[in-house]
Chains A and B, each alone.
Chain A
Amino acid sequence: MPDRGAPGGQGDPLARLPHTGAARLPSRVLRLDPGRAVTAERCLAAGDPCLNGDGFLPSVLVVELMAQAGGLLMEQEPGGSAGVLAGVRRLHLHAAPGAGDTVTVECRLERRLGELYLLSCDARSGTRALAHGRIHLRRTRRARA
């Protein structure tokens, strides 16, 4: 069974993300099948700093949520590396989530070619489809101090 670790613990996959604090969008990993698929979620409470003035999560942050979750499918390298969102294709936005919604994103790795990763992603809140599309992540060397 895929190990997702305790939230916030050393085994928590989210600890691998370079994003911290408010910049880290997923709040929990529900399932991680390394190199194949990942499911993560974010609970949107009233007053969530990611909500816009109208109380909705902007679509660009839905994509960023996909990208951060999808980044967990990249292999870890000894020298350290990070993934950046390189492209978005065929993105369909169906609905905007708001306070009280739990946004669940599922990303499946379709193909890796060199430093580029192609992922198919879906976002939903319960049974309500929010968005789906393909994103591209590029592995980059992480700058070391």
Chain B
Amino acid sequence: MDAHPPSDPSLKREIKELIVTQLRLKDVTPDGIRDDESLVQGSLSLDSIDFLELTVAMERRYGVKISDADEVQAIFASVDSIARHIARHRAQSARA
């Protein structure tokens, strides 16, 4: 069970816009990305270079840190998992 509160739809919308704009995806709109869609095996087929670009963009926008390369696959599995990671980071920051 996920101990973290479900992230709000506006955050997921932001993440989808970030994916489309940062990676300059063609023929893809934020509305066309499902929350639970695999970013690797789905229609987007993102790769490790895309994840590195998204990592930098997310760090700048949300202040989240991703330092462990082994975390990357899990964090970028889907929009849902990215949103959970950001929410977790925000919760930790609020407690600190």
Interface residues of A (CB under 8 A from B): 86-87, 89-90, 110-111, 113-116, 118, 134, 136
Cβ–Cβ contact A113 & B72, under 8 A? yes
Cβ–Cβ contact A118 & B69, under 8 A? no
Cβ–Cβ contact A136 & B72, under 8 A? no
Interface residues of B (CB under 8 A from A): 24, 48-49, 51-53, 55-56, 59, 66, 69-70, 72
Cβ–Cβ contact B49 & A87, under 8 A? yes
* Majority secondary structure of chain B interface residues (helix, strand, loop or mixed): helix
Cβ–Cβ contact B55 & A111, under 8 A? yes
Chain A residues whose CB sits within 8 angstroms of the CB of B48 once the complex forms: 114, 116
Cβ–Cβ contact B53 & A118, under 8 A? yes
Please give the distance in Å from A114's CB to the nearest CB on chain B. 3
Task: Give the complex CA separation of A118 and B70 in angstroms.
Answer: 17
Cβ–Cβ contact B72 & A86, under 8 A? no
Task: Give the complex CA separation of A86 and B70 in angstroms.
Answer: 19
Cβ–Cβ contact A111 & B69, under 8 A? no
Q: Which residue of B lies closest to A89 (CB)?
A: B53
A90-B24, A110-B56, A111-B52 known; 17 new pairs, CB 8 Å cut-off, are A89-B53, A111-B55, A111-B59, A113-B51, A113-B52, A113-B66, A113-B69, A113-B72, A114-B48, A114-B70, A116-B48, A116-B49, A116-B69, A118-B52, A134-B53, A136-B49, A136-B52
Please give the distance in Å from B94's CB to the nearest CB on chain A. 26
Task: Give the complex CA separation of A145 and B44 in angstroms.
Answer: 40
Chain A residues whose CB sits within 8 angstroms of the CB of B69 once the complex forms: 113-116
Chain B residues whose CB sits within 8 angstroms of the CB of A118 once the complex forms: 52-53, 56
